[in-house]
Structure 1
Amino acid sequence: MLDVGFVPLIDAAPLVAAVRLGLDRKHGIRLRLHRQASWAAIRDRLLSGELDAVHAMAALVHGVQAGIGGPQADLAILLGLNQNGQAITLSPALAARHVDGEPLADLLRSLPRRPVLAQTFPTGTHALWLYYWLAAQAVDPMRDIEAVSLPPSQMPQALAAGELDGFCAGEPWGAQAEAIGAGRRVIRSGRIWSGHPEKVLACRREFAALQPDVARALTTAVLEACRWLDEPGHRRDAVAWLAAPDAIGLPEERLAACLLAGADEPAGEMMRFHAGGEANFPWLSDARWFLRQFRRWGWLPEAGASNEDDRLRDVLRLDTYREAARALGILLPASDSRNSVPHDDNTLA
Structure 2
Amino acid sequence: MTSMTTATPRPLRIGFMPLVDCAPLVVAVRLGIDRRHGLRLELRRQGSWAAVRDKLLSGELDAAHALAGMVYGIETGIGGPQEQMAVLMVLNQNGQAIVLAPEAAQRLRAGVPLREALDVPARRPVLAQTFPTGTHAMWLYYWLAAQGVDPLHEVQAVTLPPPEMPAALARGEIEGYCAGEPWAAQAETLGAGARVIRSGELWPGHPEKVLACRRAFAALEPDTATALTATVLEACRWLDEDPRHRARAAQWLADDGAIDLPVACLSDCLLLPTGDDRASRLRFHGDGEVNFPWLSDGRWFLHQFRRWGWLPPDAGGDDALLAEIHRLDSYRLAALQVGVPLPRGDTRASLLFDGMRWE
1:339 alignment partner, one of 324, 349, 352: 349
The answer as to whether partners of 1:8 and 1:248 remain within 8 angstroms in 2 is: yes
- Which residue matches 1:216? 226
- Which residue matches 1:34? 44
Give the TM-score normalised by structure 1: 0.96
- Which residue matches 2:252? 241
The answer as to whether partners of 2:204 and 2:279 remain within 8 angstroms in 1 is: yes
1:298 aligns with 2:319: no
1:74 aligns with 2:94: no
- Which residue matches 2:18? 8
1:277 aligns with 2:288: yes
The number of residue pairs the alignment matches comes to 346
The answer as to whether partners of 1:136 and 1:345 remain within 8 angstroms in 2 is: no
- Where in structure 2 are there 5+ consecutive unaligned residues? 1-10
2:109 alignment partner, one of 99, 104, 120: 99
Within-5 A mapping of 1:1-349: 1-109=11-119, 113-232=123-242, 233-244=244-255, 246-264=257-275, 266-304=277-315, 306-345=316-355
Give the Å deviation of 1:339. Answer: 1.1
Cα-Cα RMSD: 1.5
- Where in structure 1 are there 5+ consecutive unaligned residues? none
In structure 1, what is the Cα distance between the partners aligned to 2:194 and 2:355? 22
In structure 1, what is the Cα distance between the partners aligned to 2:80 and 2:312? 16
The answer as to whether partners of 1:193 and 1:343 remain within 8 angstroms in 2 is: yes
Letter in 1 for 2:166: P
Give the Å deviation of 1:261. Answer: 3.6
Give the Å deviation of 1:265. Answer: 6.8
Letter in 1 for 2:274: A
**Larger deviation: 151-160 or 63-72?**
63-72
Letter in 2 for 1:179: T
Letter in 2 for 1:300: L
SS in 2 for 1:54: strand
> Runs ≥4 in structure 1, deviation > 6 angstroms?
none
Give the Å deviation of 1:342. Answer: 1.8
Give the TM-score normalised by structure 2: 0.94
Deviations 1:196-218 (A, max 9, x none): 00000000111111111111111
Give the Å deviation of 1:128. Answer: 0.4
The answer as to whether partners of 2:88 and 2:213 remain within 8 angstroms in 1 is: yes
Percent of aligned pairs sharing the same letter: 62
Letter in 1 for 2:111: G
SS in 1 for 2:87: strand
